[in-house]
């Protein structure tokens, strides 16, 4: 059995919160997801996530040669953020059952994370967040995991990382963290219960 973690890091998009990239964004732009992937700027989103460009620059670059209602786009995206089913209850139970364990978001995302935190009340469910636009590192870059540990004065071996993407979980394991690949709140509850963090 793995040691009981002192920290739990959660990916945000498609782990805690519905990701609007798959449907809300292309729908607003009058595209399918494959079309959006084909036409979008190759690096603008990553640069936005890493804090290399601001929102205005990102919106100007996002769809080369195509105009769109940037203000309306932002509004639709902002209003689309919702917690995935069962997540609010799970995080609430985790806080109650393991008050000695600190909970943090660890996300590849631009400053729009503030919209998520506000709409989904993540600041009341988590102890804080480490987001790529602020840390300057995106998962699975080792620094994406190590920066939070250094700032919290804990070793990676004391942390559990949860993400819906296998490559990000592998990145966490490579630096010494425990990791769980997310596949719904109920399965995650079972995994956390095995570690003594929540009731089954």
For 164, which DSSP code? S
Q: What is the pLDDT of residues 43-78, one digit of tens each?
A: 999 999 999 999 999 999 999 999 999 999 999 999
Q: DSSP assignment of 43-105, as one string?
A: SHHHHHHTTSS-HHHHHHHSSTT----HHHHHHHHHHH--BPTTHHHHHHHHHHH-TTSEEEE
pLDDT value at position 1?
A: 61
> How far is it, in rounded angstroms, from Cα 5 to Cα 9?
10
Instruction: Kindly give the parts of the chain with pLDDT less than 70.
Output: 1
Q: Minimal CA–CA distance to 100: which of 196, 182, 193?
A: 196
Long-range contacts of 53-58 (CB under 8 A, 24+ apart): 55/110, 55/111, 55/112, 58/110
Instruction: Please tell me whether residue 150 adopts helix, strand or coil conformation.
Output: helix
pTM above 0.85? yes
Please enumerate in sequence order all residues whose Cβ is within 8 A of that of 154, keeping only pairs 6 or more positions apart, or say none. 6, 7
> Tokens 């949860």 label which residue?
162
pLDDT the model gives residue 39: 96
Tokens describing residue 140: 């699975």
């Amino acid at each position: 059995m793995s040691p009981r973690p002192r920290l739990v890091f959660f990916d945000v998009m498609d782990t805690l919160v519905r990701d609007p990239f798959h449907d809300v964004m292309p729908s607003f732009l009058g595209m399918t997801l494959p079309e959006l992937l084909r036409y979008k700027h190759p690096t603008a989103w990553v640069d936005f996530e890493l804090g290399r460009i601001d929102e205005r620059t990102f919106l100007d670059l996002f769809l080369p040669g195509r105009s769109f209602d940037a203000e309306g786009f932002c509004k639709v995206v902002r209003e689309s953020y919702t917690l995935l089913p069962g997540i609010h209850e799970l995080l609430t139970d985790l806080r109650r059952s393991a008050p000695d364990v600190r909970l943090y978001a660890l996300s590849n995302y631009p400053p729009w994370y503030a919209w998520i935190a506000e709409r989904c009340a993540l600041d009341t469910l988590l102890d804080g967040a480490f987001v790529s636009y602020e840390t300057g590192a995106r998962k699975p870059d080792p620094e994406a995991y190590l920066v939070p540990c250094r700032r919290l004065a804990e070793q990676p071996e004391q942390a559990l990382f949860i993400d819906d993407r296998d490559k990000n979980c592998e990145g966490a394991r490579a630096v010494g963290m425990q990791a769980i690949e997310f596949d719904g709140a109920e399965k995650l509850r079972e995994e956390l219960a095995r570690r003594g963090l929540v009731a089954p």
